[in-house]
């Protein structure tokens, strides 16, 4: 019964429960040196002892340096500068003040102002790396330094829901997901 549950969990059609091979300490040090950062210990332990992503939760943990659309680069518009501080310590939501098209005579001016608001909202955030994709463009991010170091944040920007602090470390987040899955299997 539990095997059937595990096979049919959300996202398993994508990752098929495959766990990627582990990373060596040297590979992690090379990544950290490249970006002038130090990854949280529980996350590096996961990468070196369990696997470099794959499997669960949701659509699977991303391999180090990747996300659902491939390899990311620092300050590429998706990931910010990793060695600069993460700007938040509590949930973040920006009330967007979109221009009203009816207030504009010139459509080009409206589009320019509309895109400026979008650009501000969608700017890459520093000091976080993508950890997994929940579906519907929701992602989980790991904060890598500062007051929020090691915490997982949920990105709900896709539906203008902002960023949500989970107060969970990577290990706590992963184990909570597994615990919740087991609790659902009992029902």
Q: Is 81 helix (H, G, I), strand (E, B) or coil?
A: coil
Give residue-wise pLDDT tens across range 81-117.
999 999 889 888 766 677 888 888 989 999 998 888 8
- Strand positions, DSSP E, the chain: 66-67, 70-71, 128-135, 138-143, 151-155, 163-169
Name the domain count of the chain.
1
pLDDT digit string (tens) for 45-59? 999 999 999 876 777
User: Does the structure show a pLDDT above 90 at 2?
Assistant: no
Is the pTM here over 0.85, yes or no?
no
pLDDT at 46: 94
Give me the CATH number covering residue 67: 3.40.1580
Residue 160: domain span: 2-185
Considering the chain, what is the average pLDDT of its residues?
84
């Amino acid at each position: 019964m539990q095997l059937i549950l595990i096979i049919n969990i959300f996202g398993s059609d994508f990752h098929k429960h495959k766990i990627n091979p582990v990373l060596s300490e040297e590979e992690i040090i090379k990544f950290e040196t490249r970006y002038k950062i130090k990854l949280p210990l529980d996350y590096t332990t996961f990468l070196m002892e369990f696997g470099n992503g794959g499997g669960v939760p949701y659509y699977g943990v991303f391999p180090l340096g990747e996300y659902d659309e491939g390899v990311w680069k620092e300050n590429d518009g998706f990931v910010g500068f990793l060695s600069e501080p993460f700007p938040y310590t509590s949930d973040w939501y920006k009330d967007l003040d979109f221009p009203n098209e009816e207030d504009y005579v010139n459509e080009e001016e409206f589009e320019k102002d509309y895109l400026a608001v979008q650009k501000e909202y969608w700017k890459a955030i520093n000091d976080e790396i993508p950890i997994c994709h929940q579906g519907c463009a929701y992602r989980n991010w790991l904060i890598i330094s500062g007051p929020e170091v090691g915490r997982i944040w949920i990105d709900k920007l896709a539906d203008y829901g902002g960023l949500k602090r989970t107060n969970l470390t990577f290990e706590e987040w992963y184990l909570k997901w597994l615990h919740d899955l087991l609790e659902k299997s009992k029902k």
